[in-house]
Structure 1
Amino acid sequence: MALLKASFLQMSKRFLLQCGACWKPGSKLSVHTSPKMPPCDFTPEKCEYQPYDNILKIRKQNFSPLMSTYFQKPLLLHQGYMQWLFDHEGRRYLDLFSGILTISVGHCHPKVTAAAQKQLGLLWHTSPVFLHPAVHEYAEKLIALFPEPLKVIFFTNSGSEANDMAMLMARSHSQNVDIISFRGAYHGTSPYTFGLTNVGAYKPRIDRGSSCQTTMCPDVFRGPWGGSQCRDSLVQTNRKCDCTPGCCKAKNQYIEEFKTTLHTVVAKEIAGFFAEPIQGVNGVVQYPKEFLKEAYQLVKERGGVYISDEVQTGFGRLGTHFWGFQSHGVLPDIVTMAKGIGNGFPMSAVVTTPEIASSFTKKVNHFNTFAGNPMGGVIGSAVLDAIKEDGLQENSHETGSYMLLKLAKLRDEFEIVGDVRGKGLMIGIEMVQDQDSRKPLPLKEMNLIHEDCKDMGIIIGRGGLFTQTFRVAPPMCITKQEADFAVEVFHSALRRHMEKRAKGNL
């Protein structure tokens, strides 16, 4: 009888541990229940693909080995609806990464889907040598969202291609070659844009875009300077700051570093300066207020142009403005965009001034087969309509601010949460070994937290030079109720992780 009782107790402990329980000898069993997922009024179709193992085999044998996946057991996704994703077994997940900030208005948004389906039955493709109303009407609608003199558009297919073209524009217009970008910047992985991208994991061991120079990223959390009044965000760093209102000493220090770059590694005249309004791949890094405005003035004095990479920050995601550059009070010479422009449809664009467009086309005979694509015009137009009609920029501001402030509270509770930052629905949670040292949390621990969040029903992104930052950028239709669920899941994952840490189980 005693043996049966002991066996039952051991089985109970094992069961509770598998269900999220935390038990240690001499203490009462405490069960961690997973947060309750909000309801969803969508039922996915039954998955009738090949078996999971067959898909995985194809992936390993026939795909590029560089195409890595999230999670120990990669997710096989089957269907999506607005902010929700469903895997091949019907499990539901709240998508907090939007296919790497690509789903802007929601997976299979009804308005966008209906517009695409209608056009599919009419005409898929022409090319720029023909006219089609959908492309021209979309161009007019998109250009209306830009201030003067940004009024000429070039359609392309991806963010890398858009940035490639912007580099050519800058060089042809200025007749100079040197282009500056931040350390930690990601602007694509084409042969040309490899020179702009400064994240070590993406740097090839072969020749890449030449005459591209790096400058220090003005990161007020991880950089040498920064404090509690530096960035344009509802949440500031916990670093001490002796700045006064209207005078950011960190910004001044980073501007001095930028001047050093101009004096040492580039020619007296340069082609341009590339910058994301907020760095995406590097972990939602924000610069000191007024930095971009002053940096651009320095670039202008050297004959260069400013290119704003809006691939991740554009189309209302930051909430306060439709384009990220507007939040910095600066007017770029060239703007590139992709990802959210088509809500998952592969398209991109470059917008510039008539003057730059003219000097570019005099030197470069550029042609793009898909630039006159009716499908792109219809889908891009439907995305703009959805953003406006559904109030998604406003929701990004309201729900994003709500979520950001709730996530920021985690710094007070967990020593491994070093920084929470962002604007609208573009949020970064930087994880550290401890808040004093700010050393990145080891990859093994990041992976464990990441897996735990997935198991409880949220898909969250990763970023940072050391993969130490969780990236939160859901479709812009997410609700406050769903934001609450996401924060609860992340809180639960951190609590479980700290308990494992305390027991030495990592």
Structure 2
Amino acid sequence: MALASRTRFFRTCLGSRIWTCQRGMTSSPIPSMPACDFQPETYKGMEMDKVKQVRSDNLNPALFTYYKKPLLVHQGHMQWLYDVDGTRYLDLFGGIVTVSVGHCHPTVRKRAEDQLGKLWHTTNIYLHSTIHEYAEKLTSTLPGNLKVCYFTNSGSEANDMAVLMARMYTGNYDIISLRNCYHGASPYLMGLTALNTWRYNVPSGFGMHQTMNPDPYRGPWGGANCRDSPCQVQRSCDCAEGQCEAGDRYVDQLEDVLRFSMPKGKVGAFFAESIQGVGGTVQFPKNFLKQAFERVRAHGGLCISDEVQTGFGRTGTHFWGFEGHDVVPDIVTMAKGMGNGFPLAAVVTTPEIASSMGRALHFNTYGGNPLSCAVGSSVLDVIEEEGIQNNAHVVGSFFLQELGKLRDEFEIVGDVRGKGLMIGVEMVQDKTTKTPLPVEDVNGIWEDMKDMGVLIGKGGVYSTVLRIKPPMCLTMEDAKFAVAVFRRALENHSAK
């Protein structure tokens, strides 16, 4: 019997009783999927073989597909996805950190349907109320003088725009980012991104520089008191309470880049995610970002926060990830959860910086159209009315603590990190050397979890970090189920 079929059989027949695995070892209780009364519609689309043929013949050949037996997804409801056979999966990846308040959230869906009946699109050369209402509502969530919006359709577009804006305003060409970062894969941003899996062998990134990634787990400095997370690095730390020597040392590395790689010490901008997403949920030492912003500004540069993954309450304690670092950026870029899966992104900056873009015409045909702004406005309403940010904090903290217990129990779970519902689990061969677990082993655990009904992502430079960034409507019961599934997958791996 196939694993997926066996799992469904045991769920149906045995509930959560103990069972014996293939080698005769007693394993943990079979996870019971939380109840859901939603019933998906009957699928009436293409057969799987036809889908695979079209994907092979007519779609971008660089597209990669998750899982040996790919999912043909049919319908979504809040934190759940359904395939064409009606099988339900707990979505812990949220369309790559994009579904913020839930698949097909009824409030957001109704607002979109209402707007569809009035006005889908018109050029912003004309006035329409939705863009103005949304701009006012969105900027009210940001601190300081971050009051001017440039609406785009994707995070890459937003980051492209932020680079141009910084260069125009400062008159300085050079931009600094962090190693292990991801800010987009467009030709303009390929040099800003510092993950080799996203780099083509073509000239790119003129004027882009990277400094050492301030990673308390894999970097040379950092320890048990350095991260703003319920889960800390499992190595000693000499830092006093409220201080972080590791952050100081990584800032010194940034200072070296400013001193040696910039023309006469001048820099256009410094780009940073609040928590690195594609790079594997890497968190920086406390106070690193604050000191980095101070150094960059002292050299004439702007500070740009990429909130594409960490914005809109995902980190739990704050609406924007940068607020957890006690900084106020000069430019903020955002996307993904902003539209709950609808193509919507933005650059938000100060009036002074925005004015530099008046030297030529700038226009985005679809950015800020009536439909996208209606959706974005509704997402903000749901986050506030349903306490989504607090839910991310409460459920996410519990989730991290429970995953931390698995790290303490299993040798191959090297690190658990994150904040709110921005979580990463790094897999290793052993905790001492931190040698990455072979990708085929990581994939086996990942596939096993899918077969038991849980979908997660992967990331990091070695593709060995399990990425957990679900819709923020996730419940405690969902988190318990996911942890139980992960435990079972780890036990299955150990039994091989």
Global fold match (TM > 0.5): yes
Partners of 2:178 and 2:144 in 1: CA distance: 27
Partners of 1:305 and 1:321 in 2: CA distance: 22
1:132-281 aligned at under 5 Å gives the runs 132-267=128-263, 268-281=265-278
Offset, 1:78: 0.1
Offset, 1:146: 1.0
- The correspondence for 1:341, drawn from 312, 315, 338, is 338
Offset, 1:361: 2.1
Partners of 1:140 and 1:474 in 2: CA distance: 28
Give yes or no for the alignment of 1:309 onto 2:300.
Answer: no
Q: Is the 8 A contact 1:127 1:372 kept in 2?
A: no
Q: Is the 8 A contact 2:396 2:420 kept in 1?
A: yes
Give yes or no for the alignment of 1:87 onto 2:83.
Answer: yes
Q: Is the 8 A contact 1:23 1:30 kept in 2?
A: no
Which deviations, in whole Å up to 9, do the C-alpha atoms of 1:106-164 show, x marking residues without a partner? Answer: 00000000011111111100011011111110111001111121111110110000000
Give yes or no for the alignment of 1:299 onto 2:320.
Answer: no
Which residue of structure 1 lines up, in the alignment, with residue 3 of structure 2? none
Offset, 1:34: 3.1
Offset, 1:32: 6.3
Offset, 1:33: 5.7
Offset, 1:209: 2.7
Which deviations, in whole Å up to 9, do the C-alpha atoms of 1:273-328 show, x marking residues without a partner? Answer: 00000000011000000000101111001100000000000000001000011000
Which deviations, in whole Å up to 9, do the C-alpha atoms of 1:156-204 show, x marking residues without a partner? Answer: 1100000000000100000000000000100001111111111110011
- The correspondence for 2:325, drawn from 323, 328, 340, is 328
- The correspondence for 2:282, drawn from 276, 282, 285, is 285
Partners of 2:243 and 2:117 in 1: CA distance: 58
Partners of 1:354 and 1:100 in 2: CA distance: 32
Partners of 1:498 and 1:263 in 2: CA distance: 49
Q: Is the 8 A contact 2:27 2:488 kept in 1?
A: no
Partners of 1:127 and 1:401 in 2: CA distance: 44
1:429-468 aligned at under 5 Å gives the runs 429-468=425-464
* Structure with greater Cα Rg: 1
Which residue of structure 2 lines up, in the alignment, with residue 3 of structure 1? none
Offset, 1:62: 1.4
Offset, 1:408: 0.6
Q: Is the 8 A contact 2:27 2:491 kept in 1?
A: no
Q: Which moved more, 1:416-425 or 1:242-251?
A: 242-251
Q: Which amino acid aligns with 2:299?
A: R
Give yes or no for the alignment of 1:479 onto 2:475.
Answer: yes
Q: Is the 8 A contact 1:387 1:393 kept in 2?
A: yes
Given the two structures, how large is their TM-score scaled by the length of structure 2? 0.95
Which residue of structure 2 lines up, in the alignment, with residue 495 of structure 1? 491
What SS does structure 1 have at the residue aligned with 2:495?
helix
Which residue of structure 2 lines up, in the alignment, with residue 382 of structure 1? 378
Q: Is the 8 A contact 1:34 1:456 kept in 2?
A: no
Which deviations, in whole Å up to 9, do the C-alpha atoms of 1:326-357 show, x marking residues without a partner? Answer: 00001100000000010011010000000000
Given the two structures, how large is their TM-score scaled by the length of structure 1? 0.93
Tell me, which stretches of 5 or more residues in structure 1 are unaligned? 1-14, 501-506
Which residue of structure 2 lines up, in the alignment, with residue 361 of structure 1? 358
Among all aligned residue pairs of Structure 1 and Structure 2, give the percentage whose two residues are the same amino acid: 55
What SS does structure 2 have at the residue aligned with 1:195?
coil
Q: Which amino acid aligns with 1:109?
A: H
Partners of 1:174 and 1:493 in 2: CA distance: 52
Offset, 1:81: 0.2
Q: Is the 8 A contact 1:130 1:372 kept in 2?
A: no
Partners of 2:27 and 2:290 in 1: CA distance: 52
1:421-436 aligned at under 5 Å gives the runs 421-436=417-432
Which residue of structure 2 lines up, in the alignment, with residue 319 of structure 1? 316
RMSD: 1.7
Q: Which amino acid aligns with 1:402?
A: F
What SS does structure 1 have at the residue aligned with 2:190?
helix
Q: Which amino acid aligns with 2:311?
A: G
Q: Which amino acid aligns with 2:34?
A: P
Runs of 4+ in 1 over 6 A off after TM superposition: none
Q: Is the 8 A contact 2:395 2:420 kept in 1?
A: yes
Q: Is the 8 A contact 1:284 1:427 kept in 2?
A: yes
Which residue of structure 1 lines up, in the alignment, with residue 62 of structure 2? 66
Partners of 2:71 and 2:108 in 1: CA distance: 25
Offset, 1:31: 6.7
Which deviations, in whole Å up to 9, do the C-alpha atoms of 1:220-266 show, x marking residues without a partner? Answer: 00111110000111110101111122331211211111111112222
Which residue of structure 2 lines up, in the alignment, with residue 398 of structure 1? 394
Q: Which amino acid aligns with 1:480?
A: M
Partners of 2:185 and 2:77 in 1: CA distance: 30
Which residue of structure 1 lines up, in the alignment, with residue 21 of structure 2? 22
Q: Is the 8 A contact 1:131 1:372 kept in 2?
A: no
Which residue of structure 2 lines up, in the alignment, with residue 119 of structure 1? 115
Give yes or no for the alignment of 1:411 onto 2:407.
Answer: yes
Partners of 2:29 and 2:137 in 1: CA distance: 49
Q: Which moved more, 1:113-122 or 1:158-167?
A: 113-122
What SS does structure 2 have at the residue aligned with 1:163?
helix
Q: Is the 8 A contact 1:125 1:372 kept in 2?
A: no
What SS does structure 1 have at the residue aligned with 2:317?
coil
Tell me, which stretches of 5 or more residues in structure 2 are unaligned? 1-5, 11-18
Which residue of structure 2 lines up, in the alignment, with residue 51 of structure 1? 47
What SS does structure 1 have at the residue aligned with 2:440?
helix
Partners of 1:308 and 1:29 in 2: CA distance: 49
Offset, 1:46: 0.5
Q: Which amino acid aligns with 1:224?
A: P
Q: Which amino acid aligns with 2:494?
A: M
Which residue of structure 1 lines up, in the alignment, with residue 16 of structure 2? none
What SS does structure 2 have at the residue aligned with 1:100?
helix
Partners of 2:212 and 2:148 in 1: CA distance: 32
Q: Is the 8 A contact 1:283 1:428 kept in 2?
A: yes
Offset, 1:360: 2.4
